[in-house]
A and B are shown apart, each in its own frame.
Chain A
Amino acid sequence: MDIALEADQLGKRYGRTWALRDCSLRLPAGRIAALVGPNGAGKSTLLHLAVGLLRPDAGAVRIFGEAPYDNPAVLPEIGFVAQDTPLYRDFTAAELVQLGGRLNKRWDAALARNRLAQLGIPPKLPVGKLSGGQRAQVALALALAKRPRVLLLDEPVASLDPLARREFLQSLMGSVAESETTVLLSSHLLADLERVCDYLIVLNAAQVQLAGAVDDLVASHRQLVGPRHDGGPIGGVNGVVRASHTDRQSTLLVRTDGPVTDPAWTVRDVGLEDVVLAYLADGATQTRHSEWGVPA
């Protein structure tokens, strides 16, 4: 299977702070992947590295085997919509479609015009006067008109209201369903993307906490409820992601590598959201007590 996006020990540093560190992942082609993490987790950094806007400080990132930084040959393969969908606000949508045609060798202007016509975007109005949802749709249409093999969307729905969010994601899914386009879209809310993605990457505190196909992730995690647990090994459990205890009882979210047969534990299936929250809670509190001058 082709690997659309591959990161190998990838790192990016701003001053002395690592925005992304030791990031290794392989996104197979054809997937719709969600990149989830709290604000400041490094999602935009990862996407900017992938589209070649940033140069890695450590490791490497590859799009279909090619490093994107300072390599315009990769650009036709990537459709990118940056955060807040920046567009020249004094250009009309029709002019932006024309602009794309002049800057890209492969350009499907008809696709862009058809999409925008279907969505009822006025062609002669400066895009600065459109609503946020309409502007996001224009940006998406421009990215799709490149006929990219990888589509990278940075928080595409963050500034949209719930209805516009749903419309945006629906139209995105509708247009990539027939093509083989790999999609990676980020959000700080899993709920936005849960229904559309089949692959999940969880970033937190500059590191990849979890990456894999949604089905595999759900299948390989269980919630165990049983007597208070002291950290000993449990049959079939590969690792404990998160544990909470009362005096007599422990609730564990675990990664399994086989059926849990120990009768002391009650085994429950988990949803994707539970898994993600468990990984995010781990290491989520990076408070800097020493910097505030208070005891930890």
Chain B
Amino acid sequence: MIWLTWRQHRKQAFFTLLGFAALAALMVPIGLSMRHTFADLGLAECVGQLSDPDVTAATRDSCEAGFRRFTNQYGSLNLVAVLLLTLPVLVGLFWGAPLVAREVEHGTHRFIWTQGVGRTRWALVKFGLVGAAVVALAVCYGLGMSWWVDPLTHAAREGRLGLIVFDLQGVVPIGYTLFAVALGIFTGTVWKQMLPAMGITLAGFIGVRAVVAILARPHYQPARTLTFPIEGTGEPLTERGDWILSQGIRDADGTMVAADTQIMCPPGGKGPDGRACGAELGLGPGAYNWQLYQPAGRFWLFQGIETGIFVALAALLLYLAVRRIRRIA
């Protein structure tokens, strides 16, 4: 069985590795130059200094300026990062969907399942070997991307919990890739032709990922709230890297006056025409800034939960696929 799996998929494996190598050849130099600039601008120290609440205004300003310069130079790479999000689903489309669907489409399942090895064992060995290969691939991808996006996430306000950077690094790519492959295998046992199976895998993957990322992820842990007055010195007291779910300015009685914004006036400051701070927004006395957020320290917890969800889904799909395979003739 191992020989068969290798013989059947060696060409595919070769092209996958080739693609991966090409990607690495492109990304590694960019990553290196990005890290170089990051160090040159002194941003590595800034990350430490800015997390200290007693940081001096001068340091803060110079660091902000450095981050701005960095973002101006490399900010567009965030678009590249979005493209890289598609890698797990590509693996699912080209490794998962054809695994059963191609056998059935060509009728070769009737040849291979009537040899001495039963089809259940055939399925378990194939799923196991392909699964192990894609996990190895996903680990490389996850580690590589963690290294690559690290400077970008430090430069971005949301840090590593942000919507796209979170999905790119750490252990979640393993969960996504396994899920994509399992989904491909399963759809291949239901729609027994490659193209429909691939199409449905794509749609299903995007759907499940979007639902989990938008609806489930903000609630893995109860979000924290932070309130602070609208008058004060310097920046709002948010740790860099917190994932802000929603924010706004609330009145003294707690009603939201202005959503999706924060203000900060100097103490005792007046507006241009002598009105109180925020009066043009309709703020009364006692209004305060409010935000709902997930702290940056929860990154690995969230990674673990998200990976767990997708690995569990993958296991369920593979179980269903084995059951369906026993019904295909």
Contact = CB atoms under 8 A, between A and B. Distances in A.
A76 interface: yes
Contacts of A78: 114
A71 B1 CA distance: 18
A200 to B, nearest CB: 24
Q: Which of A52, A78, A105 has the most CB of B within 10 A?
A: A52
A203 to B, nearest CB: 17
A107 B116 CA distance: 10
Q: Which of B108, B113, B115 has the most CB of A within 10 A?
A: B115
Interface stretch (A85-93, A158-166, A236-244, A260-268): A85-93
A86 B327 contact: no
B118 A75 contact: yes
A146 B117 CA distance: 12
B114 A80 contact: yes
Contacts of A52: 114
B179 to A, nearest CB: 28
A100 interface: yes
B4 interface: yes
B116 A82 contact: no
- Summarize B's interface: helix, strand, loop or mixed: loop
- Summarize A's interface: helix, strand, loop or mixed: loop
B107 interface: yes
Nearest to A44: B329
Interface in B98-138: 106-108, 110-118, 120-121
Contacts of A107: 116
Contacts of A95: 7
B204 to A, nearest CB: 25
Interface string A233-270: 00000000000000000000000000000000000000
A55 B7 contact: no
A103 B116 CA distance: 6
A54 interface: yes
A146 B1 CA distance: 17
Nearest to A45: B329
Contact of B110 (A75, A82, A100, A103): A82
Contact of A105 (B3, B8, B114, B116): B116
B121 A72 contact: yes
Contacts of B112: 103
Interface string A66-86: 000011100110101011101
28 contacts: A48-B110, A48-B329, A52-B114, A53-B110, A53-B329, A54-B329, A70-B118, A70-B326, A72-B116, A72-B117, A75-B114, A75-B117, A75-B118, A76-B116, A82-B110, A87-B108, A88-B108, A88-B111, A89-B106, A98-B3, A99-B3, A100-B115, A102-B1, A103-B4, A104-B115, A105-B116, A106-B116, A139-B111
Interface of B: 1, 3-4, 7-8, 106-108, 110-118, 120-121, 326-329
Shortest beta-carbon contacts, A-B, top 7: A72-B118, A86-B107, A82-B110, A104-B116, A103-B115, A53-B329, A80-B114
Given A82-B114, A98-B3, A103-B116, 6 more contacts: A53-B328, A71-B118, A72-B117, A75-B114, A102-B3, A104-B116
